[in-house]
Structure 1
């Protein structure tokens, strides 16, 4: 099941002469360095530095998709958040020569994470977070009908989710809620979603301070569960009587957990095995991450 139409993802377009300048002053990633066809992970934050929306943004030239008459940027975002993202960007645009639109009815997202599947339709790019996440594409919504029927695509989406969770790559809307976490807590700094050498953007002071002072105590990490363990999203991870985190996503034995790293280090020092619902859970730093974590 190497190809899926991600019906839980939407598309927002930002086009016009001032699109790059507007976005460069708003989002965490470096828009100015995106060449046509390039993509980046990024986020729009609250002034307090928490993630309102995370997304993949691709520099899309005029005519790269049917109905895209003006060049600009396309945002691959959680479908439930697409309208709110468009509304928020419109709030910020003021007099800028920019057109912001929720294009989720016109365009759709597909993913291909194996060499075995068919080629993706539309404008495609390598997932900027990890090469192992494969290729993504934005295409006219009608083009997605040829990928799989509804029942087959539901299975493909479940397989894709399991692949993402196995790689311990978190996603907003699925693994954390709007306004809940800082970029460091969702590992955006580890996955190329924060540019620390660009100018100001919304929430930049808080993110920069956390980065340079090394004060991120909470992180999304990889978790391994017993297959038979009755564990669900939101279940607390305990070290004895102390809560050290919770489960954010699960697929089979693989999971993503939000963990207080200092409390986990204390548990290891005390030879206490973390548990969820009484079952043991193994916590590790994702293979692609470089932050310090006890035991790794």
Structure 2
């Protein structure tokens, strides 16, 4: 049985000070935003079989949520995918471990942060797979909130590891598990962003940084600028593969764990190394569009009229598309097939060089 071992719980402020001793939330006068992710829901999974239950359902390794000091795993949040039988994404999700004490015993609660539109579907699927597992599944939408804390300009936070798992304030705060450039993930029972900002200021009293509250659209704009997909708008249910979603370079897939639903195609793709398309950022150049104008999903074509990808979503002139990387290397004049908008794309700065080398080999083969 997989065991999720507990953190030692301290008071809210003492944990915050401990976490940020010589590790401030900001550096070099960096400014941050905090947004309440109202498009997200939180499901909870409790029970002694919860870890084993999830291990067979998601692409990542639930053992990373262990905090055993003698283990190579130690985290309180991982990124992952829930796939269908053919290996296509039903939902992308963040998996949190929160420790609480009941009857003088430490117990783990697992939270699943998912797109609000998918919470009912995912709940039904989880209950279908439950069978005889001793787990309880419920929606905690009214109790807990999801937040993103992200920089005005993405930078590496690798030296600023944050971990807060506090029973007193019922808050989890941690570096975004996908990439250290993306900021921080937080779930909390604190409903007021102003109160959260006050607590964050207590955590880091330095005057060299500031944090401002913004709406979720600002976070969406940040994600699109850096080519980060999230939720049903960017990954329509059962239409994308984990590699399309950059799951391999966003720490969302384990290639060492055992079997899980949809693993066969994912494992085969990994071992063959043939990945021809990925989510990439795009900018809509011409004609200009309004900030609140949403374009329909449509194909992306090159100068020869050949389909090289699929437009997914946009916020203003920024958006995401799944593109055949080898095709766009030789053609920078791309446009949307239905609306005729000209677009530009680029390689996200956080992509490893190995991805580029792999795509160059594919394009020349």
Q: TM-score, normalised by structure 1?
A: 0.84
Partners of 1:156 and 1:174 in 2: how far apart? 17
Kept in 1: contact 2:33–2:151 (CA 8 A): yes
Distance 1:233 1:169, change over 3 A: farther
Partners of 1:191 and 1:71 in 2: how far apart? 25
Residue 140 (1) aligns with residue 178 (2): no
Aligned counterpart, 2:129 = 92
Aligned counterpart, 1:22 = 53
Deviation string, structure 1 residues 180-232 (Cα, Å, up to 9, x no partner): 11100111111000001111111111100011112322211122332753482
Kept in 2: contact 1:108–1:144 (CA 8 A): no
Kept in 2: contact 1:105–1:141 (CA 8 A): no
Deviation string, structure 1 residues 14-45 (Cα, Å, up to 9, x no partner): 11111111111111001012235521110111
CA drift of 1:254 comes to 3.1
CA drift of 1:112 comes to 1.3
Q: How many residue pairs were aligned?
A: 279
Residue 73 (1) aligns with residue 113 (2): no
CA drift of 1:274 comes to 1.6
CA drift of 1:62 comes to 1.8
From 40, 49, 52, the counterpart of 1:9: 40
Aligned counterpart, 1:185 = 244
From 306, 315, 319, the counterpart of 1:255: 319
Residue 113 (1) aligns with residue 150 (2): yes
CA drift of 1:178 comes to 0.8
Residue 104 (1) aligns with residue 141 (2): yes
- SS of the residue aligned with 2:215? helix
**Runs of 4+ deviating beyond 6 Å:** none
CA RMSD of aligned residues (A): 2.7
Deviation string, structure 1 residues 153-197 (Cα, Å, up to 9, x no partner): 7x5211111111111111131212111111001111110000011
Larger Rg: 2
Partners of 1:144 and 1:101 in 2: how far apart? 25
Partners of 2:135 and 2:284 in 1: how far apart? 47
Aligned counterpart, 1:273 = 333
Q: TM-score, normalised by structure 2?
A: 0.69
More deviation, 202-211/212-221 = 212-221
CA drift of 1:249 comes to 2.8
